[in-house]
Amino acid sequence: MKKPDVKVVLLGDVHVGKTSLLHMYVEKKFQDTVSTVGGAFYLKQWGPYNISIWDTAGREQFHGLGSMYCRGAAAVILVYDVCNLQSLVELEDRFLALTDTASPDCIFAIVGNKVDLTEEIPVGQETEEQKLASFSSSNKVRRQVCKSDAIALYQRILKYKMLDEKTVPPAEAMCFETSAKTGYNVDFLFESMFDTVLPFIKNKKGKGSAGTVDLADYKTGKGKNSSCCS
């Protein structure tokens, strides 16, 4: 098997949907999951490159392994559940420090998953009674995290990492909302990440090997496929 060119890691609290996002992206289906033990590794071929995507366990008992999985990562995808504010808080309190072992120019994305569970109510258009009635009749739950909260976290991450805003992708481009259940934005998330880490691969190859990177090959997306190595 060809050595991966670059590593992408998913981090986040238990139950936020990290494994489901990967299943939906790799296998195009939403299926039952069991809470991840340790970590699992998928390989994605992206044009001429091999990208390893690491799914990690959110459970506290595996916390110590997180920094090992992040070692040398070119990108970290921090996942929270839009219906669970605490899962966003945990990203900063518990998971961000694990990324200290990632590459110094690591790229971050923040992903609010499970948007299918939320009832989007246009602000100011419904009374409290109407909102309550709509929630109870549809099994939807109220969203606890807005995209602006994720954008604010992204900006704090840049400060923590001492990254210059001008040299990294803007917050609006790196904060996503997804549903692993319906597939909403799942391909877009992963493919935007791969597009963003491409210069990283190019830089690494330029330093480490005589090979050159043909961006035209990459843009055609020829030969994209994936395999699970978990």
Do 75 and 106 meet the contact criterion of CB atoms below 8 Å apart? yes
Q: x/- binding map, residues 20-49, to Mg ion, per CB under 5 A?
A: ----------------x-------------
Candidates 9-17, 41-49, 63-71, 157-165: pick the segment binding ligand GTP (CB under 6 A): 9-17
Among 5, 7, 11, 19, binds ligand GTP (CB under 6 A): 19
Do 186 and 21 meet the contact criterion of CB atoms below 8 Å apart? yes
Task: Count Cα neighbours of 67 within 13 Å in the Cβ-side half-sphere.
Answer: 7
Q: What are phi and psi of 192, to 5 degrees?
A: -65, -40
Among 84, 87, 103, 113, binds ligand GTP (CB under 6 A): 113
For ligand GTP, the closer of residues 11 and 198 by Cβ is 11
* 15 near ligand GTP, rule: CB under 6 A: yes
- Interacting partner of 147 out of Mg ion, ligand GTP, none (Cβ under 5 to 8 A depending on kind): none
Instruction: Report the amino acid identity of residue 160.
Output: Y
Show Cβ contacts of residue 123 under 8 Å, excluding neighbours closer than 6 positions.
none
Show Cβ contacts of residue 189 under 8 Å, excluding neighbours closer than 6 positions.
21, 25, 77, 109, 111, 176, 178
Candidates 19-27, 68-76, 124-132, 153-161: pick the segment binding Mg ion (CB under 5 A): 19-27
User: Rule CB under 6 A: which residues touch ligand GTP?
Assistant: 12, 14-20, 33, 35-36, 57-59, 113-114, 116-117, 179-181
